[in-house]
Structure 1
Amino acid sequence: MSTTAAAATGRLAVTAPVEDEGADCPVSLPGSFPTNSKLPDPFTKLDGTRISTKSDWRCRREEIKKLAEKYVYGEKHGKPQGVTGTVSRTGITVNVTDQGKSAGFSASVQLPSGTGPFPAVIVYGGFGADTATILAAGVAVISYDPYQVGKEGTPRNNKQGAYYSVYGSSSSTGLLMAWAWGVSRIIDVIEQSGGGILKADATGVTGCSRFGKGAFVAGTFDQRIALTMPIESGSGGAPIFRGIAGESGAQPLSSAYSEQPWLGDAFGSFTGSPGNLPVDTHEMVAMVAPRGLFIMENPHIDWLAARSGSVAALGGAEVYKALGAGDDITYWSDVQDGTHCAVRPEWKTPLMSNIQKFLLKTGNAPGVIRISSQKAGNLSQWRDWQTPSL
């Protein structure tokens, strides 16, 4: 079935009803992994066999998830024992209780004109996202301050914020995953709210720069998110870890690890040897499949590692294709203005297309891959595997 035909026959129901559909898959991680300078094969299971059907992806995705948690981001605790909160026309409150500890945080809501209930995009940090276009499309904007959930400027052994109030200030989980956990708790509260104001099954997430890293991780690790839109995420975001050292001027992995406790503590062992990682970000891109993904990158600032970002997108897109969802990923780095986190005219049309397709469920435009010639990566240099027909 073509992707277009699939869309006409219900492809739009690509989100899962739960945060992690493969939570019941048994995963046993080996004690060690061979060094591999190439990108790991997303289609090869931990036991060395390759997946052969689309239904195999559910548990293969869980393997990648567990690898990413252990070696890159730290564990993402699942839904707490207690999650309560409120959704109003102006804000969301979240209160969690787990393991005998409690914490809370809030987010503000801006509704578009109309009666609703509305889809919503969770915007990290309040800058970089084209909120005017989002609102004009009839989609609400949830302004999320991730620092309430995981503060920057803290040492790794004394992390602060709602996540660490519950799971401990010495938790080895990095801020990006803590922030993603906060996004998931917002979705929990929307789900429980009865859907009179916001639709729980039509949620997007976006952010720019460090908040682009955050949006990328949030969408990767919660299968209820219909549309993930990281902007200029840089090292520690979408770009492949293995490519960064060879990309002139890109922020080194050691710098991204030490600038803030964004990445999990375990990642510190790999900043100088990413070839020892059993996972890479093309597989995080793949974890979003078949849900909507729109990666925006800036090729004008070397620090942002856009060449490695394009390789991640191309590698992950192979999984999208194998799942029959090749039209559901968009990558765009072909932009004129190099200002970091600017709202760009080139992104407006694909933004609208993705909103219509994945949040409003009124459109069916195929995704677009538009890579700037300034920062064009070559997937064939990075892979020694071929994409199977599933």
Structure 2
Amino acid sequence: MKPQLLILFLLASIYAFPQFKLTPEQESIRTEINKKTQTDYNTILQQLGITEIRPGANGNDPNAENAANYDETKADIYTNYPNPLIFNNGNPVTTAEDWQTRRLEIIADFENEVYGKLPENIPSVTWHIIEEKEENIDGIAVTRKTLEGKVDNSSYPEIEVNLQLSVSTPSNIKSPVPVMLMFGFSFPDWFPKNTFPQQKNAWQTNLLKQGWGFADLKAGSVQPDNGAGLTKGIIGLTNKGKNRTPEQWGSLRAWAWGASRVLDYFEKDNLIDATKVGITGHSRYGKAALVTLAFDERFAIGFISSSGAGGASLFRRNYGEVVENVASSGEYHWMAGNFIKYAGPLNWNDLPVDAHELIALCAPRPVFISSGNKGDNWVDPKGMFLAAVKASPVYELLEKKGIETAIFPPVETALIKGDVSYRQHNQGHVQTPNWETFIEFATRYFD
């Protein structure tokens, strides 16, 4: 399901069914968040000197003037992509040592123009175990820990940030185990609580059967998922409640920072093999997972699900979600303020980097790019595949295997022989159907 359609479904459900009805307080919270978001968006536009933004693609109305394009013949507006193996001065990258230098150039471009820079002095995190108990999941004995990571807010006590984490590991294995860390979804503050029942996830059982663990970091506990929240969360704390400036980090980098703090904790937990920790996320959290893997080289593997623009999908393609959508008031908070320029005075081709270089930053570590089919065109499945193809020369330079073909495969074809892998399942905007393939891929590195 497209992100807009999911939101519309949730909103429509509120009005169609009594159990979804907003209370006056919830309605007030939603209205206030929207108002503060627009105010913050206007502030960043003013800082950038931008007076007009091009509209994003409309994924809901195929007859709209700005309807999202799903015609492959119209997708490749730009064909000249940045080359990750060419230095900014035009010289070629020919060795692994060269790549380490080139990698820093690419990181700088992503930080300056796309995801933003981290502050120099981010406060420390102290982890506390809130609860530890034994559970049984499908006949497997599991140790489950619930933790809170308290961020030092002594510099600005008005804002508290407490990272919410749960970790489950098989109890019958006495040696440290690999763990997959997932960005967990949090409904907005105004949404009715306990709206949907908890669902059993087969992928968790399958991980446990492999002798691996799983963990869930609530992304919203690190940084709110709206523009109004940019003066809250870890971004707000480091800015002491003030508006950010255009070069500063957005929510994707903030969520990635939170995942890195979880890995800090894992390095001290004797139940976990911190050298075999993977990162995963779906949709916006797929974007965050790829950013995490790219910027923190300690993560061993990535399962990047339906991440779309701002994740694994190429910015220069006109298919589904485009730059203007990510730069809009509904999504700009994910990125640095500077990114908005590419939906206004500049265009997509002016970006100094693209998604294939984000994937290249993950090299030589393995990455699995995942997408759906029916209802998942918004994230441009082929654009993500092409990004994997364009990232592969970096893996090959580092004596790893790139993706096994440059030809877009049929749906449900698993390309998992290389260290860059891809599969498009035949369901919609969901992650679950590709877990089995990912586990098969990951066993090469975790077992």
For residue 149 of structure 2, what is the aligned residue in structure 1?
Answer: 94
Q: Partner letter of residue 91 of structure 1?
A: T
For residue 251 of structure 1, what is the aligned residue in structure 2?
Answer: 321
Q: Partner letter of residue 190 of structure 1?
A: F
| Contact in 2 for aligned 1:117/1:196 (Cα 8 Å) | yes
Measure how far apart 1:349 and its partner are: 4.5
TM-score w.r.t. the length of structure 2 is: 0.65
Measure how far apart 1:205 and its partner are: 0.7
For residue 117 of structure 2, what is the aligned residue in structure 1?
Answer: 75
For residue 426 of structure 2, what is the aligned residue in structure 1?
Answer: 336
CA distance in 2, matches of 1:42, 1:298: 27
Question: SS of the residue aligned with 2:334?
Answer: coil
Question: SS of the residue aligned with 2:312?
Answer: coil
| Contact in 2 for aligned 1:90/1:109 (Cα 8 Å) | yes
For residue 398 of structure 2, what is the aligned residue in structure 1?
Answer: 323
For residue 164 of structure 2, what is the aligned residue in structure 1?
Answer: 106
| Contact in 2 for aligned 1:150/1:163 (Cα 8 Å) | yes
| Contact in 2 for aligned 1:37/1:275 (Cα 8 Å) | no
Measure how far apart 1:291 and its partner are: 0.6
For residue 274 of structure 1, what is the aligned residue in structure 2?
Answer: 348
Within 5 A, what are the aligned runs for 1:155-170? 155=228, 158-169=230-241, 170=243
For residue 25 of structure 2, what is the aligned residue in structure 1?
Answer: none
| Contact in 2 for aligned 1:92/1:108 (Cα 8 Å) | yes
For residue 32 of structure 1, what is the aligned residue in structure 2?
Answer: none
1:125 aligns with 2:190: no
Q: What root-mean-square deviation, in Å, do the aligned CA atoms of Structure 1 and Structure 2 show?
A: 2.4
Question: SS of the residue aligned with 1:225?
Answer: coil
Question: SS of the residue aligned with 2:112?
Answer: helix
Q: Partner letter of residue 251 of structure 1?
A: E
| Contact in 2 for aligned 1:149/1:162 (Cα 8 Å) | yes
CA distance in 1, matches of 2:373, 2:389: 16
| Contact in 2 for aligned 1:129/1:207 (Cα 8 Å) | no
Question: SS of the residue aligned with 1:155?
Answer: helix
| Contact in 2 for aligned 1:93/1:105 (Cα 8 Å) | yes
C-alpha distance 161-286 of structure 1, shift in aligned 2 (>3 A)? same
1:212 aligns with 2:286: yes
For residue 188 of structure 1, what is the aligned residue in structure 2?
Answer: 264
CA distance in 2, matches of 1:236, 1:129: 28
| Contact in 2 for aligned 1:92/1:186 (Cα 8 Å) | no
What CA deviation, in whole Å up to 9, does each residue of 1:327-384 have, x standing for no partner?
Answer: 3111112x222x221521xx344312333223x2x2xxxxxxxxxxxxxxxxxxxxxx
CA distance in 1, matches of 2:355, 2:274: 27
Q: Partner letter of residue 167 of structure 2?
A: V
What CA deviation, in whole Å up to 9, does each residue of 1:241-264 have, x standing for no partner?
Answer: 001x2x2xx023211222221122
Q: Choose 1 or 2 for highest CA Rg.
A: 2
Question: SS of the residue aligned with 1:73?
Answer: coil
Measure how far apart 1:86 and its partner are: 4.1
CA distance in 2, matches of 1:354, 1:43: 27
For residue 302 of structure 1, what is the aligned residue in structure 2?
Answer: 377
C-alpha distance 324-74 of structure 1, shift in aligned 2 (>3 A)? same
Matched residue pairs, number?
314
CA distance in 1, matches of 2:82, 2:335: 20
CA distance in 1, matches of 2:205, 2:81: 38
Residue of 356, 381, 388 corresponding to 1:313:
388
CA distance in 1, matches of 2:152, 2:358: 29
C-alpha distance 167-117 of structure 1, shift in aligned 2 (>3 A)? farther
CA distance in 1, matches of 2:208, 2:253: 27
Q: Partner letter of residue 106 of structure 1?
A: Q
CA distance in 2, matches of 1:288, 1:109: 24
CA distance in 2, matches of 1:131, 1:76: 32
Measure how far apart 1:133 and its partner are: 2.2
| Contact in 2 for aligned 1:99/1:166 (Cα 8 Å) | no
C-alpha distance 77-131 of structure 1, shift in aligned 2 (>3 A)? farther
C-alpha distance 308-211 of structure 1, shift in aligned 2 (>3 A)? same
1:285 aligns with 2:359: yes
| Contact in 2 for aligned 1:150/1:159 (Cα 8 Å) | no
CA distance in 1, matches of 2:367, 2:118: 21
CA distance in 1, matches of 2:168, 2:436: 22
What CA deviation, in whole Å up to 9, does each residue of 1:105-154 have, x standing for no partner?
Answer: 12011222423422211111259993332222221111111111110233
Question: SS of the residue aligned with 1:177?
Answer: helix
1:354 aligns with 2:354: no
CA distance in 2, matches of 1:229, 1:120: 12
Measure how far apart 1:96 and its partner are: 3.5
For residue 96 of structure 2, what is the aligned residue in structure 1?
Answer: 54
For residue 54 of structure 2, what is the aligned residue in structure 1?
Answer: none
Measure how far apart 1:225 and its partner are: 0.3
Q: Identity rate of aligned residues, in percent?
A: 28
CA distance in 1, matches of 2:343, 2:79: 14
For residue 126 of structure 2, what is the aligned residue in structure 1?
Answer: 84
TM-score w.r.t. the length of structure 1 is: 0.74
C-alpha distance 79-341 of structure 1, shift in aligned 2 (>3 A)? farther
CA distance in 1, matches of 2:277, 2:337: 30
Instruction: Give unpaired runs (5+ residues) of structure 2.
Output: 1-77, 133-143, 186-198, 402-417
CA distance in 2, matches of 1:266, 1:215: 21
> Relative to structure 2, which stretch is displaced further, 127-136 or 218-227?
127-136
Within 5 A, what are the aligned runs for 1:348-387? 348-358=435-445, 360=446, 362=447
Q: Partner letter of residue 324 of structure 1?
A: E
C-alpha distance 149-163 of structure 1, shift in aligned 2 (>3 A)? farther
C-alpha distance 135-185 of structure 1, shift in aligned 2 (>3 A)? same
| Contact in 2 for aligned 1:226/1:292 (Cα 8 Å) | yes
C-alpha distance 129-81 of structure 1, shift in aligned 2 (>3 A)? farther
